[in-house]
Amino acid sequence: MKYSYMYCLIFLALSLLTAFTPASSSNGLDGPFYDSTAYTECRAEAEKPLYNGGMLKDQKPSVSGRDSLTGIGARYTPTYILHNLTQNTIYCFSIWVKIEAGAASARVRARLRADNATLNCVGSVTAKHGCWSFLKGGFLLDSPCNQSILFFETSNDDSKIQLQVASASLQPFTQEQWRNIQDYFINTARKRAVTIHVSEENGESVEGAEVTVEQISKDFPIGSAISKTILGNIPYQEWFVKRFDATVFENELKWYATEPDQGKLNYTLADKMMNFVRANRIIARGHNIFWEDPKYNPNWVRNLSGEDLRSAVNRRIKSLMTRYRGEFVHWDVSNEMLHFDFYESRLGKNASYGFFAAAREIDSLATLFFNDFNVVETCSDEKSTVDEYIARVRELQRYDGIRMDGIGLEGHFTTPNVALMRAIIDKLATLQLPIWLTEIDISSSLDHRTQAIYLEQVLREGFSHPSVNGIMLWTALHPNGCYQMCLTDDKFRNLPAGDMVDQKLLEWKTREVKATTDDHGSFSFFGFLGEYRVGIVYQGKTVNSSFSLSQGPETKHVRLQI
């Protein structure tokens, strides 16, 4: 039987991809494969260690006084002594933790003391008395370390708390191995094999037909915030539309923008921005209905309490959601509620959950999100640990059957820890809800080239994680720059971060494919998920069609007649 060269390549690639299982080493990758396993329920028994323990296989923890580790206090903690850690290696760490005595529950974080520095948090978990909780994280080192100490702290720093640990694992990955693993996930989660069949009306296969395939839209949205500065700014609009198919309004939908004075609603800017969105067939996230941080609420709202505040809240939801019903694919309903509690402190515990119910009643098709910072950026912020996020979601799900549909992770990074980022998303993925990186940027404390390097790390991590559904950059352009990171200067000349984003947008889109059908009348290729246009030319005849490529394990077959 005769196959085209392209078909053989596709068959070989599929064989390599589908033959792999995490327990197997014959996966076409050099070294171990990343284990996405995560647990979020407290268990009677600890599970077996990931990677069979990795570097910690058969190593038992010692118990050391914390004063010998950090110079603080005298409490004792389980510790692991690590030898010969290398620079730029990605270390994935996991362990099961249980409180033996001293408290019913406590937040526990793993720390690493190396030769020249201490990493404040390489993973955290809410541990409980009497059952085992799973901590998953990781770290990278800027320089090699001959000997380092991995130890644990509790949030309340109670010397009476006694911890027990089990099934520890530390697995190293080289940068090349990590990148290859990311590519594997991209190829399996973001792409799919396609075979186009061309036949005559009588069903006879057509050999030698010229096939042109072009991707016209992508299934995975990558977008950027915009602000009112885009209105009337043709160069900015052209620069934006050339790149992005998704957006979010930076400030123009926030309560302080739409109703700065009580009863005086003003949607002028938001309406104009929505016209721009519609005209260019862009999808948009709604940000936000309420912000729990008091300083970002209108002055007049901060002075309300009781029924007056409740009435104002109800009017806000009705006005905003009715005006834009069906326009926004998402709404950040209660922004940063892990860190702040403006409404709940005035309207009662769980008052914010009522916002979700009211928003759902008006716009039942919009996906409703929690949205918060320092969830994937770090595990040092005790208000927004991954377990705190999961606990709030589950609490909402138990509250009178109210639904929350999406997980919003802001992603304001300084130095990304990709091992920790992936581990946290693994745990969030157990909720089986859409996950979006909603406000990605890199701190302005870094130079432009470092911003670009770190941004690529974050984007690759997000795009390659199968549970992430979209990415939004927090890069709206203003006359004085951007919130933290710009992609372009005021003349729309790309900065290094902009060049990197352009590179990723091109890399993660199927380029135009031209080929001829083989003796079976077929042509095969791998394509990124999305919408496609296909053209067939044969003996002076032309046929144009289109097809959708959605996620699936099987080859997509497209049959055309000419």
- Segment 379-405, tens digit of pLDDT: 999 999 999 999 999 998 888 777 889
Contacts of 157 (CB under 8 A, 6+ apart): 73, 75
What is the C-alpha to C-alpha distance for residues 452 and 500, in angstroms, rounded to an integer? 6
Query: What are the pLDDT digits (tens) for 295-311?
Result: 999 999 999 999 999 99
pLDDT band at 87 (very low <50, low <70, confident <90, very high): very high
pLDDT at 555 over 50: yes
Nearest to 126 by CA among 144, 105, 140, 103: 105
**Does 4 or 414 have the greater pLDDT score?**
414
pTM of the model: 0.93
Question: Is the Cβ–Cβ distance between 108 and 159 less than 8 Å?
Answer: no
Question: Region 77-100: what's the mean pLDDT?
Answer: 96
What's the pLDDT at 26? 44
Q: Which residues are registered as beta bridge partners of 196?
A: 523, 558
Question: Region 140-161: what's the mean pLDDT?
Answer: 87
What is the C-alpha to C-alpha distance for residues 4 and 11, in angstroms, rounded to an integer? 11
Question: Is the Cβ–Cβ distance between 466 and 436 less than 8 Å?
Answer: no
What's the pLDDT at 446? 98
Question: Region 534-542: what's the mean pLDDT?
Answer: 97
Query: What are the pLDDT digits (tens) for 333-352?
Result: 999 999 999 999 999 988 88
Instruction: Give the architecture-level CATH label for domain 50-180.
Output: Sandwich (2.60)
pLDDT at 415 over 50: yes
What's the pLDDT at 380? 96
pLDDT above 90: percentage of residues in the chain: 86
Would you tell me how many other CB atoms lie within 10 Å of the CB of residue 21? Answer: 10
pLDDT at 284 over 80: yes
pLDDT at 16 over 90: no
What's the pLDDT at 73? 42
Question: Is the Cβ–Cβ distance between 183 and 176 less than 8 Å?
Answer: no
pLDDT at 209 over 50: yes
**Does 115 or 276 have the greater pLDDT score?**
276
pLDDT band at 508 (very low <50, low <70, confident <90, very high): very high
Mean pLDDT check: name the lowest of 70-79, 393-402, 428-437: 70-79
Report the mean per-residue pLDDT for the chain: 92
What's the pLDDT at 192? 98
**Does 196 or 76 have the greater pLDDT score?**
196
Query: What are the pLDDT digits (tens) for 32-66?
Result: 999 999 999 999 999 999 999 999 999 999 986 55
The length of the chain in residues reads: 562
pLDDT at 329 over 50: yes
What's the pLDDT at 10? 39
What is the C-alpha to C-alpha distance for residues 13 and 6, in angstroms, rounded to an integer? 11
pLDDT above 70: percentage of residues in the chain: 92
Mean pLDDT check: name the lowest of 107-116, 190-199, 282-291: 107-116
Nearest to 370 by CA among 358, 383, 352: 352
Question: Could you give the C-alpha distances from 284 to 212, 246, 275, 324, 366, in angstroms and in order?
Answer: 31, 6, 11, 11, 11
What's the pLDDT at 70? 47
pLDDT at 4 over 50: no
Angle 496-507/234-243 helices, nearest 10 degrees? 40
What's the pLDDT at 349? 83
Question: Region 394-421: what's the mean pLDDT?
Answer: 92
By annotation, the residues acting in catalysis are: 336, 439
pLDDT at 330 over 60: yes
pLDDT at 68 over 70: no
pLDDT band at 75 (very low <50, low <70, confident <90, very high): low
